[in-house]
Structure 1
Amino acid sequence: MRFVPGLLAGLVALCCIPVSAEKLLQANYVTSCSDDDLIQTDKITVNVLPAEKKVWLEYDGHLGYDGKVMFNVDLFAYGYNITRYSLDPCDLKIANLCPMAKGKMPVPWSPMTLSDSALDIIPTIAYYVPDLDCLVRVSVVKYGTDELVSCIEAPVTNNYSVYVSGVGWAIGVIVGLGLLTSVVLSILGYSNIATHVSFRTMLLLGFLQSQAMYGMLAMDFRPLARNWTQDFQWTVGVVHAEFLQTIATWFQRATGGTPSDVMTQEESVSVALLKRSANIVKRKLPDVGGGEEILLKGIERMGYRSDIEPTNIFMTSYLVFYFVMILMMITLVIIKFALPAISKKANSAKLNNALSGGTEWKGYMRGNIYRLAMLSYPQFCSLGLWELYHRDSAAEIILAIVMFLTTSAALGFATFKVFQRARASRALNENPTYTLYSDPACLTKWGFLYVHYKAQCYYFIAPMLAYILIKGVIVAFVQESATAQAVLILVLEAAFLIATSVIRPYMDKKANSFSIAASAINFVSGICMLIFSNVFNQPNIVSGVVTIIFFFMNAIFTITLIVFLLISFFYAFRLKEPTAQYHRLSDNRDSFRMSQTDNRLNTELLPLEKAIRPSPIGDDRPASPWAQSNGSVRSRWDPSNPTPSESRWDPGHVGAGYNHHEPPRSPFADQPPRSPFADPVEPTLPLIPSSDNVGRRV
């Protein structure tokens, strides 16, 4: 397992990769922190290069005040006011600032020299902290007084961020390997290991999808929280690719929609990732020739961070879903043709039996389509329903409705079939789970819904689907109010945590522990969302501290789940059972066949054989009713007068007995031993656990 520490080190390194190694602080947009519109900004770019002791500035905006002013600059880090200093605009030697004059004020890209005292104000750590939460607030006051004229503020960032595409790719590969491994092991008959690998993969993927859905909420996220959730937007199908954007834009125009142009307007407008509005708000700036300030939040902010136009978000997710489905089907076809060839070269009886002609490949195909519907359900519950609200085009609305209804109907039908099988099994066997775990066809098609749960807790699939649906509805339809979203998410996470903790539905103690831990962390994340919504009007430093807690809590647990999954890979490669609490029940059906060897003393049917054997001469015990010849009962067995029927056991002859010199032969002696894979109840399928009669083996 040497690859585990190396992989984790790689993930940590990816989280801190900078764009360049040069020290840099930059600001790309400003917003107003006062009620006036005296300072309007079309575009601003500020780069601080301490190595050169210079500040590069480019500005295009409008000033609405005449008179001499002073700038009071406040520097905030994670909501804490680090320092404050005053700046005379005449020292900047910029036109229209000394004194300030009304009108348009363009400043071309030009450098300004910084003094050593100004650079000493900035701590060295500010250049290296990922997703630096730093804010510069400039209060414009009248010269010689403290009367406020206007106020603007600009978030400052460096080149370090936890949002790196490599992180998503690395975790995506791990999740894909987990799904592929579980399918291959299931086909080969190692359903116990396959169930554990599948559970751990689904737990990791579900947790990452929750992180992605948090990132789509309409909260005023700090950079660290925003970029952390941005790493996992691929789990809901939001993946940037130029050809996908081209197809989505073409489809929208062809179906009567109007594509947005936020990405192409970055050079002429100021784009702010704030919570000021539900949708894209384009505020016209007065007297500047139609300048605009675009404010984004929620799902649109998430799309902008992924370099995706807001009107292409749903279509991108839709196309990614079909790409994954095609890739999955191609992979299954490759497995179908590759594994038999491998089994011939390996000369393994288990592989040959598992990959015989009776293998239900159609069942595997259908089951994996159902599984894909389950994996994609969060994205269609959130982005699909959001499309009904956003309305990019009529055709996209129809696609969103069809996909949401299709996935919901498929999962609803599968859930109904599971409940129907359980009810029928209860009526026939007084056990609702006998059919669910003894029928290979049921396991192949719908087992992904309930194999992760205890046998008697199969019904927990209904609360799980309801949880995903309600969460998607909250994300999609409550983008107007961050407070309402936060409250609803918190109530939902609390209800699911209580249900998971009380019922403990999963297959063993370890699975329940990790599932409850994931639910607890989601609940704490829900509390963080409530704080991010500013419902308490808390100080900025509180939001900064909560952001750090949110990041480290979720990052540590994500790494823990990845390690948890990698350990299951270790078991899968060694084909070793991951736990001893649940083990395979021994298949003793061969014990009911007579032994073909002379050594029958070790068989479990020896007492029964003694009971039915004819008594020897001189024994006063009653003769066995089986010791008959031609319909007459013989009271004693005479070895000197054996009959033809006594020389060999004949199941078709009523008077057959046992020959003392030649042991009886089983009627199945000339047949090859039966393969356990051909039995109606396959012994490798999950049955009942040895610890109690309520759970089941996984």
Structure 2
Amino acid sequence: MEMRSPWLALLALLSLFQLALAQTEIDGVTYVTANIDGENVLVRDNRQPSLYTGDFGDCMGDSSINVTRFDAAFYKDNMTVLFHLTGDTSIVSEGLMMYIAVYAYGESQFELIFNPCNANINSLCPVQSNVSIEANGVIPVGQSDVQNIPSLAYTIPDFEGQAILRIFANSTQQMIGCYSAVITNGSSFSHPYAVGSVLGVFAFVALVASFATAIYGSDVPAMRKHYAHSMSVFVVFAVLQHIFFTGALSMNWPSVLVAFWSNYAWAGGMIYTESMQNSINNFIGSNKGNTTAVGAASAGSDNSNLGGGYDISLIYRRAIKKTVKKAAMHLWRKDIHDHYSPRLERALAKRQLANSTDGYSWYGNPVKPGLPLPGNYSGFAGTLAQEDIPASNAFMTGFLWYLILLVLVAASVVAFKWLVEGLARVKVIKQERLAYFRSHWLGFTAFAVLRMLFIGFFAMVFLTLFQFTYEGAAGVVAVAAIVFIIFLCGMFGVAAYACYYRVRVGDYISEPDRLNLERRRILGCIPWYRFSRASATSDDTEKVYAGSLPFWRVSHRNPETQKSVHEDEQYTKKFGWLASRFRRTRWWFFACWLFYEFIRACFLAGASGHPMVQVFGLLVVEFLAFVAIIIMRPFESQRLNAMMVYLLGFSKVATVALSAAFDVRFNIARITTTVIGIVIIVIQGILTIFLLVAILVGAASSWMSVKRHRETEQFKPHSWRNWRDKYFAHMDKAMKDLPPEPPAPAIPPSEHEQPKEPYFNVSSVRRVAKIEDEDPDFQADIGTDPRGSEMSLQGNLRTSEDGTPTPAGRKRAPSIMSQMSYTSLPRTARVHRASWSSRDFLDMGYDPEIAPPMPTGSPAGHSRANSLGHSRVNSHRQSRASSLGRPRATSVGRAKSIDRLSRMGTPTGIPQLPQLNTQISEQGEEADYFQSPDAITPVKQHGYPAGRSSMS
């Protein structure tokens, strides 16, 4: 024992020096030893900790110790916890016990109970009223102390942690101080300066594009048409405000959601400036309202159960057990500790105090009055806390920024007018450029301001109703009441007058009608009901309905002369800022939208502090509105319908439905709620991306609109020309707002319908004998050329005096009536042989694909002389080609052939006859056909029977 005591004393001495000797200073920079990947290295002492605290607040309300700085940091690389504590107290002298608890996602992860006298905190040992509290400490921790902290906590954005410091008086064992600080790892979804600025730039682009289409041109209906298809600033702010004001539900939000929504706070008018908040605080005074009433844990009030509360007996029992264990050490070890410890602790304390402000910036500040406790993100107050704006200042902050926006919009329109005038004076632009806008600039300015009032209706009504619920100073409530009356009565009054003006001036009448409840099935099997107007189904008198209700309908007095609302130039000039973007048959949608936004504001603001009423009431409203807007599809532009009807509507319904899981009564684990929060971020993030894309597309379409008077060849960029034509055609079609044409009814196939594709092949064709084959005159007209239509009845052929066969001819003298062909066959018909087969052509060596050449020296035409002595030369090459070689009887005399010509029909499927090259000569009253001996022998044109002419 005696031999080991020096070594044990040295070991104890070195252990006391361990923390003091762990720091190294190089070139004025303090380094500490850290273990990274199993290797000891020097790292900066002012490096960013793995986990550290941010802003802190009083969780007791009347703490006897006033803490002005409270921060702690955990360094994973060297497994140490660093904390700082400064403040003052009015207690004369008191021994203290301190209890630090660290929570992550609602679960206790680390607890530390210590006596300040044993931890080198001299200013708290004991605490005295005339001594300022300044405490710094570096506490080594083991792996077992932090084993419950998952590795994901060091990297996940917006780590949800909380550090609670409780101070107890040893004499009474009562809590005399409580402070809570939020814990973070430095990663966050909150980037208002970056993300918010980008969103602001895109919103400005949408504003400029919309304004450009509104002022360009001189034809009001055309200006309205192009304005209706530009990107709407109303839709942009509807999307952004939906995302931010989701945080108005009185739910215990996960930290990731509140951080994400802070990027959209500017769209709701929640922009923090120190000077404005100080002015509002002076106006409000000390009455900050009741943050607890809107569902948030207020700083400076009693929150003793924070973090699940505490057990004072357990705390002191553990402290006493720790003290007894130390007292049971060996006597020699206790002597060494008592001898060296005070001197080393004092030296260590002095060193830490001297370097406590050197470069360390990872600490928060006390929360301002009216803000909830750090780490509590309940309700709209918790959402606003991310912006350092107290809930009591919300209405005045939004109202002041809204007034600034109205002034900026009006001043911008006026400034642009005079800028255009100046450019026209110096002849930078043409004198007639934007002439309509320059002559009506006062009206455009007024309508721009009115449009901004319409866009900001929901935000201002919500903020006024929230102020009524939150109460607060009487002056603020009075201002909120005035603003509420102006917006409610003013906007609904203008909307009602716009509808009344259209109905009266547009010659509309109101007639009684009925709503019929009709049974139907959806998806083929689910029973369902739908309403239909009796006037729309008046033709169907046999349909049976489940019930009906009295209703009315507004219709035009004379539908034939009805003028569209967008063709009414006077109405567009008066109320175009309300109705121009909506379809011809949905021009009244602005009134429905105002009513819908008012109901939303009532649930979000009027029911603050009642989460179940808020979430389920709002869910019903959003679902009904989603279905109704899908049915109406109010916007004339397809992009706006896609954004406002489908994407925004789905996001609202899904967000409210998922938000129900954040109510504290469901007691869902915070890890699970964080996952649900990330799902909401994904939904709203996708909505934001689609909005940005729509703004870019809208900017491109607005460029096409303001360049609509340029010819297509002059429009730039060239690659957009086809899109420009299609875009203009789409606008013209959408402006008519006509239902799509019904598809043509399918014609049922006939029972005897022939197949569309051939179902047989023709291999050979054969002609059999017919009745006319027994006619002697017919048989005589067909030659006996073996290549022609040869007959088996050779006895019917006529012969000449020398015995050679001759064509049959008439023996009567020619007359005027006989000058014309009187064949009984049509002009393009052919005389057939009695019996033939397609094989006969193969036996003669004919190739149907090759036509015989034209004989040399054959004349290309023929001369014709009629009975009056007139002669004419006609070309007949084309006629031969078109009639497959058949000569036409064009002479007034009877045609006689001097040679035989093979004639036959061309039924479907037989080989094509060779082209005939014929020389035709007509002289006098008779015409003969001549052709080369090498060509096919011609046959005489068959004439009419005696006593009949073609003119009869």
Q: TM-score range by the shorter chain?
A: 0.5 to 0.7
CA contact (8 A) 2:99 2:165 kept: no
1:451 aligns with 2:580: yes
User: Contact 1:50–1:119 at 8 Å: present in 2 too?
Assistant: no
**Cα offsets for 1:309-351 (capped at 9, x unmatched):** 4433222222111111110111001221223455674666xx8
Residue correspondence of structure 1 range 239-254 to structure 2 within 5 A? 239-250=271-282, 252=283
Contact 1:204 1:562 in 2 (8 A): no
What does residue 182 of structure 1 align with? 210
Match of 1:653 in 2: none
Distance (Å, rounded) in 1 between the aligned partners of 2:443 and 2:213: 15
| Cα separation, 2, equivalents of 1:216 and 1:365 | 33
Secondary structure of the residue that 1:211 maps to in structure 2? helix
RCO higher in structure (CA 8 A, sep ≥6): 1
Choose the corresponding residue for 1:45, options 64, 68, 71: 71
Q: 1:327 aligns with which of 405, 408, 411?
A: 408
Matched, 1:560 2:690: yes
Pick the aligned partner of 2:270 from 219, 227, 238.
238
1:579 aligns with 727
Q: Note if contact 1:367-1:444 (Cα within 8 Å) is conserved in structure 2.
A: no
Q: Which residue does the alignment assign to 1:499?
A: 628
State the secondary structure of the residue aligned to 2:301: strand
Does residue 223 of the first structure (1) align with residue 278 of the second (2)?
no
Matches for 1:307-386 after TM superposition, within 5 Å: 307-342=388-423, 345=427, 352=432, 354-356=434-436, 359-386=439-466
Q: How does 1:53-68 map to 2 (within 5 A)?
A: 53-58=79-84
Name the amino acid aligned to 2:52: Q
Q: CA deviation at 1:404?
A: 1.8
Task: Tell me, yes or no, if structure 1 residue 162 matches structure 2 residue 291.
Answer: no
Shift of 1:226: 1.1
Q: Which has the larger radius of gyration?
A: 2
Indicate the RMSD between aligned Cα atoms, in angstroms. 4.8
**Residue 301 of structure 2, aligned match among 282, 293, 297:** 282
Q: Mean alpha-carbon deviation: is it higher for 112-121 or for 180-189?
A: 112-121
| Helix, strand or coil at the partner of 1:45 | strand
Q: Deviations over 1:368-389 (max 9, x none)?
A: 1211111221222111122233
Relative to 1, partners in 2 of residues 1:278 and 1:501: Cα closer, same or farther, differing over 3 Å? farther
Q: Deviations over 1:391-426 (max 9, x none)?
A: 443333232122222222332233123312432324
Tell me by how many angstroms 1:440 deviates: 3.7
User: Residues 81-112 of structure 1, C-alpha deviation per residue, up to 9 Å, x if partnerless?
Assistant: 7x96786758995489xxx9999999744131
* Aligned equivalent of 1:548: 678
The answer for the alignment partner of 1:111 in structure 2 is 137
Task: Determine which of 157, 161, 176 is the counterpart of 1:130.
Answer: 157
* C-alpha distance in 2 between matches for 1:560 and 1:466: 26
Letter aligned with residue 447 of structure 1: G
Q: 1:195 aligns with which of 211, 228, 245?
A: 228
Distance 1:562 1:343, change over 3 A: farther
1:430/1:198 Cα in 2 relative to 1: closer, same or farther (>3 Å)?
farther
2:593 alignment partner, one of 457, 464, 467: 464
Structure 1 residue 692 displacement after superposition: 5.5
Tell me the secondary structure at the aligned position of residue 432 of structure 2: helix
Q: Offset of 1:437 from its aligned partner? A: 0.9
Report the CA distance shift for 1:87/1:310 in structure 2 as closer, same or farther (over 3 A).
closer
CA distance in 2, matches of 1:380, 1:466: 14
Q: Which residue of 1 aligns with 2:381?
A: 300
Q: Give the one of 417, 438, 458 matched to 2:567.
A: 438
CA displacement at 1:48 relative to structure 2: 2.3
2:716 is the counterpart of 1:688: no
Alpha-carbon distance in 1 for matches of 2:563, 2:47: 62
Distance in 1, Cα, partners of 2:697 & 2:578: 23
Against the structure 1 CA distance between its residues 111 and 239, is the aligned structure 2 distance closer, same or farther, given a 3 Å change threshold?
same
Deviation at 1:57, TM superposition (A): 1.7
Q: Is the 8 A contact 2:662 2:668 kept in 1?
A: no
SS at match of 1:438: coil
Bigger mean CA deviation after superposition, 356-365 or 210-219: 356-365
**Same amino acid, percent of matched pairs:** 17
Q: Which runs of 5+ in 1 are unaligned?
A: 1-19, 141-150, 263-270, 287-291, 586-685
- For residues 413 and 272 of structure 1, what CA distance do their matches in structure 2 show? 35
Q: Report SS of the residue matched to 2:404.
A: helix
- Structure that is richer in helix per residue: 1
Q: Return the offset for 1:560.
A: 1.7
Aligned pair in 2 of structure 1 residues 193, 459: CA closer, same or farther (>3 Å)?
Answer: closer
- Residues 1:534 and 2:615 are matched in the alignment: no
CA contact (8 A) 2:583 2:735 kept: no
Alpha carbons 2:159, 2:255 under 8 Å: kept: yes
Q: 1:410, 1:432 → 2: CA distance?
A: 34
Residue aligned with 2:196, SS: helix
- Quick one: structure 1 residues 276 and 420, their matched pair in 2 at CA, closer, same or farther if it must change by over 3 Å? closer
Per-residue CA distance 1:542-570 (angstroms, 9 max, x = gap): 21211111112111211221121112112
Distance 1:326 1:579, change over 3 A: same
2:58 and 2:299 in contact (8 A); partners too:
no
Secondary structure of 1:165 counterpart: coil
Query: In structure 2, how many angstroms separate the alpha carbons of the residues matched to 1:67 and 1:57?
Result: 17
Q: 1:138, 1:519 → 2: CA distance?
A: 45
Contact map agreement 2:293 2:470 (CA 8 A) in 1: no
Per-residue CA deviations over 1:287-307 (Å, capped at 9, x if unaligned) read: xxxxx9974643333443322
Say whether residues 1:482 and 2:611 are aligned partners: yes
| TM-score, normalised via structure 2 length | 0.49
Cα distance between partner residues in 1 of 2:433 and 2:558: 29
Tell me if structure 2 keeps the 8 A contact 1:282–1:293.
no
The CA distance in 2 between the partners of 1:272 and 1:184, in whole Å, is: 45
TM-score, L = length of structure 1: 0.65
Report the equivalent of 1:388.
468
Q: Distance in 2 between matches of 1:275 and 1:26?
A: 29
2:641 to 479, 489, 512: 512
| Cα distance between partner residues in 1 of 2:103 and 2:470 | 38
Bigger shift: residues 166-175 or 22-31:
22-31
- Secondary structure of 2:74's counterpart equals strand
Equivalent-residue separation in structure 2 for 1:496 and 1:126 (angstroms): 40
What letter is aligned with 1:161?
A: S
Letter of the aligned partner of 2:418 in structure 1? F
Contact 1:57 1:108 in 2 (8 A): no
CA, structure 1 residues 132+539, in 2 after alignment: closer, same or farther (shift >3 Å)? closer
Quickly say closer, same or farther: Cα 1:240–1:85, change in 2 above 3 A: closer
SS in 1 for 2:592: helix
Deviation at 1:276, TM superposition (A): 5.6
Count the aligned residue pairs.
539
Deviation at 1:519, TM superposition (A): 0.7
CA gap 1:209/1:415 in 2 versus in 1, 3 angstroms: same
Q: Classify 1:691/1:466 alpha carbon distance in 2 versus 1 (closer, same or farther; 3 Å).
A: closer
Structure 2 matches for 1:586-597, cutoff 5 A?
none
CA-CA distance at 1:155 after TM superposition: 4.8
The aligned counterpart of 1:639 is none
Offset, 1:246: 3.4
Counterpart-to-counterpart distance in 1, 2:592 and 2:96: 65
SS of aligned partner of 1:22:
coil
Contact 1:25 1:158 in 2 (8 A): yes
Give the aligned residue type for 2:203: V
Give the Å deviation of 1:187: 0.5
What is the letter of the counterpart of residue 547 of structure 1?
Answer: G
1:134, 1:430 → 2: CA distance? Answer: 67
Instruction: Report the CA distance shift for 1:177/1:578 in structure 2 as closer, same or farther (over 3 A).
Output: farther
